[in-house]
Structure 1
Amino acid sequence: MREMGMQLLRGISKSLGLEECYIENKMKLESGYSVFGPNYYPALSQSSDDKNQIGQFPHRDPGLLVLLAQNVGGGLQIEHQKKWLNADFPPSSIFVIVADHIEILTNGKYKSLLHRVALNSEVERMSLPFFFGPSLDVTVKPEPEFVDDHNPPSYRQMTYKAYLESNDHHVIEARANLNQIRL
């Protein structure tokens, strides 16, 4: 998973017109902080009145990318133009989520994906997210390549470790952490 994340970040760097290893070097990925965090969502019972219960409330993830695998299709929803869309993808594939620190680094050129999990089927679901992040000591900020007179910095700088520590206190509002450092 780590190598897949590295390849994706190299592609993002190139898509921004930068050298292939730009994000890798800026975020000190040789000592990056990555976490594997499996989730279990039970099946809805036959007697459940609400067939659209939420298994995980709307949120964005810290880090650079989340590589997500799951055992069954369905459940993941993404917000697009103020509507929730099902992000159906086969169990044999990986769904890539752009996370907060790509948004910060690119000063908003790439956006962190707002998503949630709906318990909308009668089968249990397991998701296997791999959270791919920078080194804990790296200071993440809008980089100079994305800042100019027409695009001032949108976020204040903060170490990745400090951002993760503040995340524990701001889990209710979907964009709390980005709002906390937004200028």
Structure 2
Amino acid sequence: MKLGLKPHADGATITVLLQDKQVGGLQFLKDDCWFTASTAPDALLINTCDYMEIMSNGIFKSPVHRVVTNSKRERVSITIFGYPHPEEEIEPLQELVDETTPRMYKKVTNYFELFYKYTQLA
């Protein structure tokens, strides 16, 4: 099996994906097993990403996923990533942190740059 994109989570706030109508390949990791995302014509697949996981203090998860190539057919999809301003400080919302739910993430500035420095997708 040749991967089209190695396992990773997206370093954005949200990802909007229009998948290829006929060729699948997007897989998500859950409980150490890979699951293939179904393709629904003209449907958008929405992923929460790293920024959302940080801001929600872990309520919303940034899923680990990969893309597996198809040896017989080319896969074409369109992806839009939503990012805050690079200098924006990202941290859990204060309303989601209290005595019963401790803060899970530190304040981060320029996460986008850090993400691409340490994540090599190719």
TM-score, normalised on structure 1?
0.61
Unpaired runs of 5+ residues, structure 1, are: 1-51, 174-183
Comparing both structures, which one devotes a greater share of its residues to helix?
Answer: 1
Given the alignment, which residue of 108, 115, 118 partners 1:167?
115
The one-character-per-residue Cα deviations of 1:123-174 (angstroms, maximum 9, x if unpaired) are 0011211001223332110111111122221111112xx211112221159x
Is the contact between residue 24 and residue 39 of structure 2 (CA under 8 Å) also seen in structure 1?
A: yes
- The structure with the larger Rg is 1
**1:66 matches 2:47:** no
Q: Distance in 2 between matches of 1:99 and 1:121?
A: 29
- Calculate percent identity across the aligned residue pairs: 32
| SS in structure 2 of the partner of residue 168 of structure 1 | helix
Secondary structure in structure 1 of the residue aligned to 2:95? helix
Is the Cα–Cα contact under 8 Å of residues 64 and 102 in structure 1 kept in the other structure?
A: yes
**Count of matched residue pairs:** 120
| CA deviation profile, 1:51-86 (whole Å, cap 9, x unmatched) | x21110000111211000123331000111110000
Q: Check if 1:112 corresponds to 2:69.
A: no
In 1, Cα distance between equivalents of 2:119 and 2:87: 22
Q: Is there any run of 5+ residues in structure 2 with no aligned partner, and where?
A: none
Q: Following the alignment from structure 2 to structure 1, what is the Cα–Cα distance between the partners of residues 117 and 98?
A: 33
Instruction: Tell me the amino acid that sits aligned with residue 64 of structure 1.
Output: T
Partner SS, residue 130 of structure 1: strand
1:101 counterpart = 2:51: yes
Which residue number corresponds to residue 4 of structure 2?
A: 55
1:123 aligned partner: 73
Equivalent pair of 1:89/1:95 in contact (CA under 8 Å): no
Within 2, Cα distance between the matches of 1:127 and 1:170?
25
Q: Quick one: structure 1 residues 104 and 110, their matched pair in 2 at CA, closer, same or farther if it must change by over 3 Å?
A: same
- State the partner residue of 1:44: none
Q: Which has the higher contact order (CA 8 A, sep 6+)?
A: 2
2:35 corresponds to = 85
CA distance in 1, matches of 2:81, 2:51: 12
Q: Select the structure that is richer in strand.
A: 2
2:84 corresponds to: 134
- What's the C-alpha RMSD, in Å, of the aligned pairs? 1.7
